[in-house]
Chains A and B, each alone.
Chain A
Amino acid sequence: MATFMSRSQLLRYGASILRGQRSYSTDVPKITTHYTIHPRDKDPRWKDVDMERFADEADVVIVGGGPAGLTAAIKLKQLANAQEKELRVCVVEKASEIGGHTLSGACLEPRALNDLFPNWKEMDAPVTQEVTSDKFYLLTQSARIPIPLLPGIPIQNHGNYLIRLGNFVRWLGEQAEALGVEIYPGCAASEVLFHEDGSVKGIATNDVGIAKDGSPKDSFERGMELHAKVTMFGEGCHGHLSKSLYNQFNLRENCEPQTYGIGLKELWEVDPAMHQPGRVEHTVGWPFDRHTYGGSFLYHLGESDAPLVALGVVVGLDYTNPYLNPFQEFQRFKTHPSNIKLFQNGKRIAYGARALNEGGFQSIPKLTFPGGCLIGCSPGFLNVPKIKGIHNAMNSAMLASEAVFETITDESKTSPTVGLDPVSFEDKIRASWTWAELKSVRNVRPAFHSWLGLYGGLAYTGVVYYLLRGKEPFTLSHGGTDHARLKPAAECKPIEYPKPDNQVTFDLLSSVALTGTNHDHDEPPHLTLRDDSVPMARNYAIFDGPEQRFCPAGVYEYVEKEDGSGHRLQINAQNLSYLHRIDHPLVTSRPLRPPLNQSFTDYGNPASTRLHNLSGSGSVHLPTVGFHDCQTVIAGYSTYGLKPIRVLSSSNFSLFWPN
């Protein structure tokens, strides 16, 4: 199958796009109202609005109240209290309550928790259900083949705990407050502030009270500035402030671009007779074909009195068929004969989705810069074959806090910039078990990219990883960004998905309604397109609008225009319930992708700079507007050949519900 076009084909595409753009130029619907696209100083509606911001000072500001952010805060306070030093630590979190936007499986490896609170068992932590049985299957349409879990294989779970991460994060929040951390939920950090010397000064929270068309409402209030000596960014996968920092400080020049997956999850109340607390099931194979990196998890949770099962799928966003619909694949998965009875006798009580990192070791950027550092899934420490990232996020946060504390309290060192750079963090993380762990599994994910697909990946894990545990001298590359693998719709077959039966499988809109989120109808959409004409010109024309399918909230819809002259993109902002982020730039820089799907590089020297420059799709994130969180999406640039083409980069999103 041809995976890239000839130059002449591409030039023809390019010409047709330019033609298309010309004919659409007078007809483009105004989707975007954000002030970075339509600046406020030129907008007459903002003329008399007072844009001054109230500012406050702290020692450390942490963006994001998830496992990483809260662990960092706790560790800082533990260090400060041990040395009897005063330290003002503030955590800003976009969810209205801590844990409100937390979504995960989750199967926790307690290693980092043991370091943070050695006596966590006595502290009433909501970590009680140990894994009692651990199964791994390869699914076919009608059967499931058990795959033996030899000790040392990444997906093995002995000694781990099944938790509800939202409850765990809430508990971490309580511990943090008990130690004196100031936590501010409901405040999204929307802008990074800089000193004159270019170092990070702190953050500003979002403005509230803006109408759908971008004009100020009566309730308009400017966000607030929080200044700090060091700002730690723990925004989770694909944080939008982190993205702006990558560009600002060039943090990604020596690593591969991050690759992503989307995780969709449901919580079910099942028949107590079928409930086996502590049972863990992971599968690969059906319903995904061998070239789509996808798998499922199913955990029988044990904490509460209700017999709950958490299950979901993770789909790598480097899938090739634009007709793939991760939500439908998830619904289909539930109909497999091995588990369908569980759902037929059960009741679905929650739904959510979230982006996750799949880049692992090769995609870790530089972590510190003048004025701050990145922790957790923002830079990305998820162990992909294990599908665990909480322990690494927490460990990275603890090491970062040690570095930050040293930097702040070191009287002797003078800093060249006003914002302090916690440089020792890089050394600490490299010496840590997180680094060793990620390095040992670095080749498992890229091993799926050969023509053997899934089977190649499984073979690699079972043989090379099992024997060498990552000591092989080469590092496989991911081969570029996810979007580069998407094929035009014309080359792919549409997938027929079965209709929902509302007992086991459900439709998208009722799932979104279950997330329990809601947006004011008079708010700007939390997505911003850099160029409103691109969706029709490119995404719909070439790829049949894959965003209609990959969004797990039904945000994007291509609707018929009122006058019947074609389609237009409609963003259903009401569905943007607590969305987070997936960046799925839809443009491909096809001819520049190297013909081989893998490139072998020197050990420890990812030579993906070559790939990085070729695809060169930079995407910038814009801060959110409006009271309820959400990050916005921005179009990315891609250069191919000589001409830059602006293309749509889709929103980052995830749906949350208290987990």
Chain B
Amino acid sequence: MSGLRVIVGCKRVIDYAVKIRVKPDKLGVVTDGVKHSMNPFDEIAVEEAVRMKEKKLASEIIAVSCGPTQCQETLRTAMAMGADKSIHVEVDAATYENLQPLHVAKILAKVAQDEKADIVFTGKQAIDDDCNQTGQMVAALLDWPQATFASKVEKANGDLTVTREIDGGLETIKVKLPAVLTADLRLNEPRYATLPNIMKAKKKPMAKKKPADYGVDVAPRQSILKVEDPPVRQAGSKLDSVETLVGKLKDAGLVPS
């Protein structure tokens, strides 16, 4: 059968190794001049899509990112890893701060329909908001089956056999295509984008679109009230007996005396 067409969602986030600082106005974190890179889980999704292409399961990989102009670097990285083309859905920086998974999911759903995709692949969650919602919402909007937290993806006949990481262990399910998949950490180890591939990626096509092109309204539905550092951890105290522990719990009102 002809290869699958895969859409991969890539989000540009603050690099995982950077120490985050809250802005003085407490409405967000400092992003100016801070190193950004592709969400690590999205990298894993791109890698899996590229491997599927190498195994001749997939025929075309399209990377999609929503955000300001700098997202184009993220898309170039995806193309350097092996994506064939990319779509940059331009959202200005101010709106981007309030862009929610539902907005992105609506955009990805429309892209998937326009491009006649067979698989929508994203990372399981973004490391900045930890929402873990986009993939699931896309599946709901498209009415497609979803295989989330994938740690292994195999193809058998017309379906996908996906092993998922769940709280109790591993679950293996079969999903019919077209489907939405979200990648978990142990799915693969992403490859390096080497210089020859980066050079080739410059020649790959990148389409520039706006949310309006997909009929999606990205006006914010939420506003951020406050962003704070986590509280400084209080020192603990070592107790020498269970009685003392119970006594302290009673004093703190945590245990009825």
A interface with B by C-beta (< 8 Å): 54, 56, 92, 96-97, 100, 166-167, 170, 184, 186-187, 205, 208-209, 218-219, 221, 223-224, 226, 304-306, 349, 513-514, 516-518, 627, 658
Closest 9 CB pairs of A and B: A518-B17, A208-B192, A224-B195, A54-B196, A516-B18, A187-B195, A221-B194, A224-B196, A516-B17
Most buried by A among B33, B34, B189: B33
B196 near A97 with CB under 8 A, answer no
B190 to A, closest residue via Cβ: A219
Complex CA distance for A224 and B18, rounded to whole angstroms: 29
Instruction: Say what secondary structure dominates the interface of chain B.
Output: loop
A96 near B196 with CB under 8 A, answer no
Smallest CB separation, B50 vs chain A (Å):
12
Smallest CB separation, A347 vs chain B (Å):
9
B interface with A by C-beta (< 8 Å): 15-19, 21, 24, 32-35, 37, 189, 191-196, 198-199
Smallest CB separation, A171 vs chain B (Å):
11
Question: Do A221 and B191 form a contact, CB below 8 Å, given A516-B35, A658-B35?
Answer: yes
A218 to B, closest residue via Cβ: B189
Task: Write out the residue numbers on chain A whose beta carbons fall within 8 Å of the beta carbon of B24.
Answer: 305-306
Task: Write out the residue numbers on chain B whose beta carbons fall within 8 Å of the beta carbon of A219.
Answer: 189, 191-192
Complex CA distance for A184 and B80, rounded to whole angstroms: 12
From B15, B33, B191, A167 is in contact (CB under 8 Å) with B33
B19 near A56 with CB under 8 A, answer no
Most buried by A among B16, B18, B194: B194
Complex CA distance for A166 and B37, rounded to whole angstroms: 18
A96 near B192 with CB under 8 A, answer no
Task: Write out the residue numbers on chain B whose beta carbons fall within 8 Å of the beta carbon of A513.
Answer: 19
Task: Write out the residue numbers on chain A whose beta carbons fall within 8 Å of the beta carbon of B18.
Answer: 516
Question: Do A223 and B35 form a contact, CB below 8 Å, given A306-B24, A349-B21, A513-B19?
Answer: no
Smallest CB separation, A52 vs chain B (Å):
12
Complex CA distance for A56 and B191, rounded to whole angstroms: 22
A205 near B195 with CB under 8 A, answer yes
Most buried by A among B191, B193, B194, B195: B195
Question: Do A56 and B199 form a contact, CB below 8 Å, given A208-B192, A221-B194, A349-B21?
Answer: yes
Smallest CB separation, A525 vs chain B (Å):
18
Task: Write out the residue numbers on chain B whose beta carbons fall within 8 Å of the beta carbon of A221.
Answer: 191-192, 194
B189 to A, closest residue via Cβ: A219
Known: A56-B196, A184-B199. 10 other contacts (CB 8 A): A96-B35, A97-B35, A166-B33, A184-B195, A219-B189, A223-B195, A224-B195, A305-B24, A516-B35, A627-B192
Most buried by A among B34, B37, B196, B199: B196
Task: Write out the residue numbers on chain A whose beta carbons fall within 8 Å of the beta carbon of B37.
Answer: 96
From A54, A218, A514, B19 is in contact (CB under 8 Å) with A514
Task: Write out the residue numbers on chain B whose beta carbons fall within 8 Å of the beta carbon of A516.
Answer: 15, 17-19, 35
Task: Write out the residue numbers on chain B whose beta carbons fall within 8 Å of the beta carbon of A54.
Answer: 196
Complex CA distance for A219 and B47, rounded to whole angstroms: 11
What are 5 inter-chain pairs, A to B, with CB distance below 8 A? A54-B196, A167-B33, A184-B199, A226-B195, A516-B19
Complex CA distance for A170 and B199, rounded to whole angstroms: 21
A164 to B, closest residue via Cβ: B33
A517 near B17 with CB under 8 A, answer yes
Smallest CB separation, B103 vs chain A (Å):
28
Smallest CB separation, B10 vs chain A (Å):
16
Smallest CB separation, B81 vs chain A (Å):
11
B194 near A208 with CB under 8 A, answer yes
B21 to A, closest residue via Cβ: A349
Complex CA distance for A303 and B78, rounded to whole angstroms: 34
Complex CA distance for A239 and B16, rounded to whole angstroms: 29
Task: Write out the residue numbers on chain A whose beta carbons fall within 8 Å of the beta carbon of B15.
Answer: 516
Complex CA distance for A56 and B195, rounded to whole angstroms: 10
B15 to A, closest residue via Cβ: A516
Smallest CB separation, B203 vs chain A (Å):
13
Task: Write out the residue numbers on chain A whose beta carbons fall within 8 Å of the beta carbon of B194.
Answer: 205, 208, 221, 223-224
A347 to B, closest residue via Cβ: B21
Task: Write out the residue numbers on chain A whose beta carbons fall within 8 Å of the beta carbon of B35.
Answer: 96-97, 100, 516, 658
B33 to A, closest residue via Cβ: A658
Smallest CB separation, A174 vs chain B (Å):
12
Task: Write out the residue numbers on chain A whose beta carbons fall within 8 Å of the beta carbon of B198.
Answer: 184, 187
Task: Write out the residue numbers on chain B whose beta carbons fall within 8 Å of the beta carbon of A208.
Answer: 192, 194
Complex CA distance for A606 and B135, rounded to whole angstroms: 69
Task: Write out the residue numbers on chain A whose beta carbons fall within 8 Å of the beta carbon of B192.
Answer: 208-209, 219, 221, 627
From A184, A305, A658, B34 is in contact (CB under 8 Å) with A658
A92 to B, closest residue via Cβ: B195
Smallest CB separation, A659 vs chain B (Å):
9
Complex CA distance for A218 and B191, rounded to whole angstroms: 9
Complex CA distance for A310 and B192, rounded to whole angstroms: 35
Most buried by A among B16, B18, B192: B192
Smallest CB separation, A217 vs chain B (Å):
8
Task: Write out the residue numbers on chain A whose beta carbons fall within 8 Å of the beta carbon of B34.
Answer: 658
Complex CA distance for A184 and B77, rounded to whole angstroms: 12
A187 to B, closest residue via Cβ: B195
Smallest CB separation, A193 vs chain B (Å):
14
Smallest CB separation, B28 vs chain A (Å):
14
B24 to A, closest residue via Cβ: A306
Complex CA distance for A636 and B198, rounded to whole angstroms: 37
Complex CA distance for A304 and B30, rounded to whole angstroms: 12
Task: Write out the residue numbers on chain B whose beta carbons fall within 8 Å of the beta carbon of A305.
Answer: 24
Smallest CB separation, B75 vs chain A (Å):
16
Complex CA distance for A286 and B194, rounded to whole angstroms: 48
Complex CA distance for A224 and B192, rounded to whole angstroms: 13
Smallest CB separation, B16 vs chain A (Å):
8
Task: Write out the residue numbers on chain B whose beta carbons fall within 8 Å of the beta carbon of A92.
Answer: 195
Smallest CB separation, A93 vs chain B (Å):
11
Task: Write out the residue numbers on chain B whose beta carbons fall within 8 Å of the beta carbon of A170.
Answer: 33
Complex CA distance for A40 and B73, rounded to whole angstroms: 35
Smallest CB separation, B196 vs chain A (Å):
4
B80 to A, closest residue via Cβ: A186
Task: Write out the residue numbers on chain B whose beta carbons fall within 8 Å of the beta carbon of A187.
Answer: 195, 198
Complex CA distance for A481 and B119, rounded to whole angstroms: 63
Complex CA distance for A186 and B38, rounded to whole angstroms: 14
Complex CA distance for A97 and B37, rounded to whole angstroms: 10
Task: Write out the residue numbers on chain A whose beta carbons fall within 8 Å of the beta carbon of B189.
Answer: 218-219
A520 to B, closest residue via Cβ: B189
Complex CA distance for A221 and B197, rounded to whole angstroms: 11
Complex CA distance for A56 and B189, rounded to whole angstroms: 28
Task: Write out the residue numbers on chain A whose beta carbons fall within 8 Å of the beta carbon of B199.
Answer: 56, 184
Smallest CB separation, B121 vs chain A (Å):
20
A518 to B, closest residue via Cβ: B17
Task: Write out the residue numbers on chain A whose beta carbons fall within 8 Å of the beta carbon of B21.
Answer: 349
Task: Write out the residue numbers on chain B whose beta carbons fall within 8 Å of the beta carbon of A186.
Answer: 193
Task: Write out the residue numbers on chain A whose beta carbons fall within 8 Å of the beta carbon of B195.
Answer: 92, 184, 187, 205, 223-224, 226
Smallest CB separation, B23 vs chain A (Å):
9
Complex CA distance for A305 and B35, rounded to whole angstroms: 19
Complex CA distance for A208 and B195, rounded to whole angstroms: 11
Complex CA distance for A54 and B21, rounded to whole angstroms: 41
Task: Write out the residue numbers on chain A whose beta carbons fall within 8 Å of the beta carbon of B193.
Answer: 186
Smallest CB separation, B40 vs chain A (Å):
12
A167 to B, closest residue via Cβ: B33
Smallest CB separation, B187 vs chain A (Å):
14
Complex CA distance for A56 and B200, rounded to whole angstroms: 12
Complex CA distance for A186 and B196, rounded to whole angstroms: 12
Smallest CB separation, B55 vs chain A (Å):
15
Complex CA distance for A349 and B33, rounded to whole angstroms: 13
Task: Write out the residue numbers on chain A whose beta carbons fall within 8 Å of the beta carbon of B33.
Answer: 166-167, 170, 658
